[in-house]
Amino acid sequence: RINGDRLWASLMELAQIGATQKGGVKRLALTDLDKQGRDLVVSWAKQAGLTVTIDQIGNVFMRRAGKNPALPPIMSGSHIDTQPTGGKFDGNYGVLAALEVVRTLNDHNIETEAPIEVAFWTNEEGSRFVPVMMGSGVFCGAFSLETAYAAKDTEGKTVGDELERIGYKGTEVPGQHPIGAYFETHIEQGPVLEDADKVIGVVPGVLGLSWYDCIVTGMEAHAGPTPMALRKDALQISTKIMQEVVNIGNRYPPYGRGTVGMVQVFPNSRNVIPGEVKFSIDLRNVSSELLDTMHNEILAFVDKTSKDSGLSISVERVSYYPPCPFHPDCVNAVREATATLGYSTMDVVSGAGHDAIYTARLAPSGMIFVPCKDGISHNEIEDAKSEHLEAGCNVLLHAMLGRAG
Amino acid sequence: RINGDRLWASLMELAQIGATQKGGVKRLALTDLDKQGRDLVVSWAKQAGLTVTIDQIGNVFMRRAGKNPALPPIMSGSHIDTQPTGGKFDGNYGVLAALEVVRTLNDHNIETEAPIEVAFWTNEEGSRFVPVMMGSGVFCGAFSLETAYAAKDTEGKTVGDELERIGYKGTEVPGQHPIGAYFETHIEQGPVLEDADKVIGVVPGVLGLSWYDCIVTGMEAHAGPTPMALRKDALQISTKIMQEVVNIGNRYPPYGRGTVGMVQVFPNSRNVIPGEVKFSIDLRNVSSELLDTMHNEILAFVDKTSKDSGLSISVERVSYYPPCPFHPDCVNAVREATATLGYSTMDVVSGAGHDAIYTARLAPSGMIFVPCKDGISHNEIEDAKSEHLEAGCNVLLHAMLGRAG
Ligand SMILES: NC(=O)NCCC(=O)O
Ligand SMILES: NC(=O)NCCC(=O)O
């Protein structure tokens, strides 16, 4: 069993770096605060006797030797960067749970066959620099190191320069680091476990995700003198599409998701009929077939709406992550560890992307979810119970031991 | 007949002060540019022999003496402040048409019984300082001079200080200036005249107007892990109300108007279900009864939507201008002048508020509309034909002569 109090204490100590007034954390990727957070985790790793390697995109791997150095390491980790109004647990829990596994092995003088590694990946959140899951994305070859280096924040600072500045531009070529298997513990970021009153979520996979930008172009006109029949109201036409996005999500349960999260209205003035509306569409589902069906339905609806209204409507896919089923061996390792430890459990497909979807392209991967309060994350009020975090970490310990031997 | 070329030349000269690259004008109320515009108009008035009076809210009255100084003046005017991305004609036309009437009377040595006055009112647009139609509003007692003086722009500068700074804080008490009748020429700011191919709009009155702020409060949550059934999506509920606003406008033709022009989504992030949406509602109609019915219907719909969805929804009326029928004598004066001059014509109820709705509280008032290109105003591409502007000014001349004797 791991030491739940020690895990909690480390989480709270790390959360002080970038702590916000409302109890959250603001520690954006590659800022001075990120450097402080990284330095603290690395110092803990060194205290635990781990060997630290940094790759060219700033991913950090902290290794506990195994009996057989030829075996690829059994790895666990996540990220320590946060949203601008982020919480204490998203990402940080996954990194510190992996560290707690190592500390527990040290306490008990357990030597594993394969090495054990704790990892944290650069810029998972994508708040300061896009794309999201940058470090793991470069690691698995989803996009190039050059693309990542060139990414700019709103002030024009690049990932390449900022990595150099905070001293985390390593020398190892990303992806050259061997991985035997990868496990990631994470707060669920949704309400399913809490709703069902279960402690451990076994994660069979991650929903596929399609992101779109939709622009409806009408005709800006004065709200008073323009009769209803002569209007080309871009917002009214947009509301039809916004509703269809949700209808499509509802049409393919239980994993269909349809969300409009971002809306910009032009000119956005009280007495002007909107001439242009730009909004985002987020569609998700568990299989490529279902996600393709949803994709086709939204395109067809936009097409029909444009014809019916006479307004020009563009919709462009801006991101796509295919559904990611995790490796049966890893999923079973988590399921069995949970059963051995006697925690209440259910399967929870991850609705959100995680670094594990990229490691899954290179090595068997799996995830362990624990409940978070009201399903809330990406929010300063994000919260989780110490006993749940401890349970998730115990499951991680046993799953990793099973793989590492 | 007035001199159409001279009118056009003056419009173009005034439009150079604050001219924008796209051919529009940016001359916000009480800025240095507004001062330059005011100085130019006042200099033209003095060249035309007019006597200038300025009141404490910066309204400017420019008087041509009549045979009978005891008679209250027949007044015409509008405003010369513009929207941030405004055009050359909105407001400016009304002021320079009145000046052109005076110049024409001078050309022909016509002496009227009653004095003739050209007026421009402070801050009609309300872009820099709210409320809109500030100068005429203070003049008719709709709100106090103190309220107006205290109004601040986004930099914290007040109307009182800015009036003083540009030298247009006069001494006359607002509202003490007598008015025998008031006429205002204006571009229609809508598509009705152009659509019907008519030159002169006789304006029987102005639509009443109710403005509301609506706030829908749901629950912010991650778009991926949150199943459709567990969401409180503030945007989806908002779209129902946004559509009903337009339905209500359509339900009470021909003058019903329902517009949502302004929308703010929180936190406005692609993968976050909106937790709060704030939007404006603009309802208009020609009678208080119809506007009250529309008011009751939107409140009832919001109430029902809140109950059905379980989300909290607030809707607050933030402005109300009752419908304003113009005085039959003034409406007839415009109608008869138009007939005499032989212009094609139709009645066009004004959908937008104008300074004339405030003068109408103190003196018989009326308006004359001319077409503007595509019905567009509050836009740099605002445009109008010289012959239409000339026609409107001829109608103004004859309507004023009829009243002034
Ligand atoms: N975990 C997480 O928030 N990932 C970002 C991409 C997504 O929206 O799923
Ligand atoms: N003319 C004009 O734009 N007035 C502002 C108030 C309104 O929206 O009617």
Measured between beta carbons, which residues in chain B are less than 8 angstroms from residue A85?
267
Q: Is the pLDDT of residue B152 over 90?
A: yes
Helix/strand/coil for B151: coil
pLDDT of residue B184: 98
Across the interface, whether the CB atoms of A246 and B233 are under 8 A apart is answered: yes
Average pLDDT taken over every residue of chain A: 97
> Within the 217-236 window of chain B, which residues sit less than 8 Å (CB to CB) from chain A?
220-228, 230, 233, 235-236
pLDDT of residue B181: 98
Alpha helices (H) along B92-230 = 92-107, 134-139, 145-150, 159-165, 192-196
pLDDT of residue A154: 86
pLDDT of residue A136: 98
Ligand 2 atom closest to Cα of B284?
9
pLDDT of residue A330: 98
pLDDT of residue B85: 85
Q: What tens digit of pLDDT does each residue of B250-275 get?
A: 999 999 999 999 999 998 988 999 99
Residue with tokens 């909107």: A274
Q: Which residue of A has its CA nearest to B226?
A: A190
pLDDT of residue A5: 98
Where would I find the beta strands (DSSP E) of B56-105?
60-64, 74-78
Q: What tens digit of pLDDT does each residue of B127-139 get?
A: 899 899 999 999 9
Mean pLDDT of all residues in A340-347: 98
Q: What tens digit of pLDDT does each residue of A293-305 get?
A: 999 999 999 999 9
Mean pLDDT of all residues in A67-96: 96
Mean pLDDT of all residues in A149-175: 97
Q: What tens digit of pLDDT does each residue of B201-251 get?
A: 999 999 999 999 999 999 988 999 999 999 999 999 999 999 999 999 999
Q: Is the pLDDT of residue B52 over 90?
A: yes
CA of A354 to the centre of ligand 1 (A): 7
pLDDT of residue A383: 97
Nearest by CB to B227, which of A192, A262, A378? A192
Residue with tokens 């000046």: B99
Ligand 1, atom 3, residue with closest C-alpha: A352
Q: Is the pLDDT of residue B329 over 90?
A: yes
pLDDT of residue A366: 98
Nearest by CB to A228, which of B230, B250, B262? B250
Rounded distance, CA A182 to CA A398, Å?
13
Q: Is A257 in the pocket of ligand 1 (CB under 6 A)?
A: no
| Lowest pLDDT segment from B7-16, B263-272, B346-355, B362-371 | B263-272
Residue A158 Ramachandran class (φ > 0 left, ψ -120 to 50 alpha, else beta): beta
Q: Is the pLDDT of residue A58 over 90?
A: yes
Q: How confident is the model at residue A127 (pLDDT cuts 50, 70, 90)?
A: confident
Mean pLDDT of all residues in B24-44: 98
pLDDT of residue B378: 87
Rounded distance, CA A403 to CA A405, Å?
6
> Within the 250-309 window of chain B, which residues sit less than 8 Å (CB to CB) from chain A?
250, 253-254, 256-263, 265, 267-274, 280, 282, 284
Rounded distance, CA A257 to CA A286, Å?
10
Nearest by CB to A261, which of B258, B262, B270? B270
pLDDT of residue A134: 98
Please state, in angstroms and as integers, the Cα–Cα distance from residue B53 to each residue in A43, B31, B42, B61, B122, following that order. 78, 20, 10, 5, 14
Report pTM. 0.91
Q: Which residue of B has its CA nearest to A255?
A: B227
Percent of chain A exceeding pLDDT 70 equals 100
Ligand 2 pocket, mutate which of B354, B357, B372 (most atoms under 8 A from CB): B354
Mean pLDDT of all residues in B307-335: 97
Q: Is A132 in the pocket of ligand 1 (CB under 6 A)?
A: yes
